[in-house]
Amino acid sequence: MHVRLKSLIAALAVCASSAAFAAEPIKIGLSGPFTGGSSPMGVSMRDGVKLAAAEINQKGGVLGRQIQLIERDDEAKNERGVQVAQELINRERVVATVGFINTGVALAAQRFYENARIPVMNAVATGSEITAQFLPPRYPDNYIFRTSANDQIQSAMIEEEAVDKRHFTKVAIFADSTNYGQLGREDLEKALAKKGMKPVAEEKFNIGDVDMTAQLLRAKGAGAQAVLTYGIGPELAHIANDMAKLGWRVPMIGSWTLSMSNFIDNAGKNGEGARMPQTFIQEGNTPKRKQFIAAYQKAYHVERIPSPVSAAQGYDAMYLLAAAIRQAGGTDGVKVREALENLKQPVAGVIAVYRRPYTHDNHEAIGKDEVVMGEVKGGRVIYAYPADAKRAK
């Protein structure tokens, strides 16, 4: 027994030392809500990131080292996001982190990365404040990068769709009472104000509300021709369903969350025709996209990606990060940030081919050109304007 124990320890020691000889993996944090109401987005993002990391590893990794993802569930809670950030930075010693669905969580957790000089690839959260939290000159360098379409871009597109393209003169805003909804409402108001317009009704609702009759009657009474939304899936579905109940059908145009599976499924035919800005639509109109969609479907056994936008943004964020580490020639946070701000090689993502996506002062990879208008049709999101689908080619 004693001899066997000793030999076991010896064997373990050999294993450990041989592992040390092989190149150590590059640890990347992955933080998002994998449980709770926003999990369709969190899980899709996670799976997109994992898909990209697996592809990179299969081709030999980065700088001869494998990428190792450290996944943590932030439960969409600010305080939990802070704990996750501290754990990833201090215990796991990650090189960078990809993540964040919820604007509030991102704003609470990013501070720790900024202080530790560890880059963050913000893949899904859209609050305008996110990349502006640590702007120079107040802070020497900003370590927060983004691969999603921020609320300013989205609200401008919503306004353009409602006012310029469809010539509505009276619109109502429906926003939930969270940070996300209320910050989005402010951006929408600003976008409308640029056209000299004021919403005829501004209605609020809570997460978990099951009846939108009063809000809709107010909007109807004010003569709204369209409802502009900033909320998440289940409540958006209640808006669509109660609209049908009241026999008041006006178009719904809103932030990208109108593409969430829990809106489309719960609203059913009442959600048809809803339009929203999208960075990615599940349609294989380029070879790269076709390959990405097929790989996702095969790896996770789904036909429809729960949140295609989140999956694509997570996937692209991982590729951009890998390119930066490769260019930096190491995993030092400062060097990786500098490389991200000055990417020399173009990076082929599924949303776009990124040519110098970031500079020292611009940390938004997605501009207005990368965003298209999506529309719910037949239970999935398609291009609202077929020209956009062709342009992508």
Partner 1 sequence: MDVLSQLLGSGVAVGMIYAVIAFGYQLTFATSRTLNFGQGEALMLGALVGLSLVGHMNYWLMLPIVMLFGAVQGAVVERVAVRPAIKSKSEFGWIMATIALGIIFKNVAENIWGHDQLPFPSPVSQTPFTVLGVHMVPMQVMVIGGALLMMLAVELFNRRSIYGKAFVATASDLDAAGLMGINTNLVITFSYALSSMTAAFAGVLVAPITLAGAEMGAVLGLKAFAVAIIGGLNSGVGVIVGGLILGIAETTTAYYISTGYKDVPGLVLLLLVLAVKPAGLFGKTVIKKV
Task: Return phi, psi of residue 25, to 5°.
Answer: -70, 160
CB 317 to partner 1: min, Å: 23
- Give the residue with the Cβ less far from partner 1, 11 or 210: 210
Residues that bind partner 1 (CB under 8 A): 35-37, 39-40, 177, 203-206, 208-211, 213-215, 217-218, 221, 233-234, 237, 244-247, 261-262, 265-266, 268
Cβ atoms of residues 349 and 286 within 8 Å: no
Residue with tokens 């996944």: 71
CA distances 125 to 234, 257, 322, Å, are 18, 11, 21
Rounded distance, CA 143 to CA 110, Å? 9
CA atoms within 13 A on the CB side of 76: 18
- Give the residue with the Cβ less far from partner 1, 269 or 391: 269
CB 172 to partner 1: min, Å: 11
CB 41 to partner 1: min, Å: 11
- Give the residue with the Cβ less far from partner 1, 101 or 347: 101
CB 37 to partner 1: min, Å: 7
- Give the residue with the Cβ less far from partner 1, 95 or 240: 240
User: Which helix H or strand E contains 145, and what residues bound it?
Assistant: strand 144-146
- Give the residue with the Cβ less far from partner 1, 37 or 61: 37
CB 262 to partner 1: min, Å: 5
- Give the residue with the Cβ less far from partner 1, 303 or 369: 303
CB 229 to partner 1: min, Å: 14
- Give the residue with the Cβ less far from partner 1, 29 or 234: 234
CB 94 to partner 1: min, Å: 26
Q: Give me the sheet containing 67-73, strands edge to edge.
A: 67-73, 26-32, 96-99, 120-122, 144-146
CB 228 to partner 1: min, Å: 15
Which residue intervals of 132-228 are DSSP H helices? Answer: 151-159, 179-194, 213-221
CB 267 to partner 1: min, Å: 9
Rounded distance, CA 70 to CA 53, Å? 12
- Give the residue with the Cβ less far from partner 1, 124 or 321: 124
- Give the residue with the Cβ less far from partner 1, 234 or 277: 234
- Give the residue with the Cβ less far from partner 1, 189 or 283: 189
Peptide linkage before 137 cis (omega within 30 of 0): yes
CB 208 to partner 1: min, Å: 4
Task: Return phi, psi of residue 13, to 5°.
Answer: -65, -40
Contacts of 87 (CB under 8 A, 6+ apart): 72
For the chain, report the end-to-end CA distance as a whole number of angstroms: 67
Task: Return phi, psi of residue 380, to 5°.
Answer: -145, 175
**Which DSSP state fits 99?**
E
> Which residues partner with 252 through β-bridges?
227
Q: Is 126 left (phi over 0), alpha (psi -120 to 50) or beta?
A: alpha
Alpha-carbon Rg for the chain in angstroms: 22
- Give the residue with the Cβ less far from partner 1, 195 or 245: 245
Task: Return phi, psi of residue 226, to 5°.
Answer: -155, 155
Question: Residue 361, class by beta-carbon neighbours within 10 Å (0-12 exposed, 13-18 middle, 19+ buried)?
Answer: exposed
Cβ atoms of residues 71 and 52 within 8 Å: no
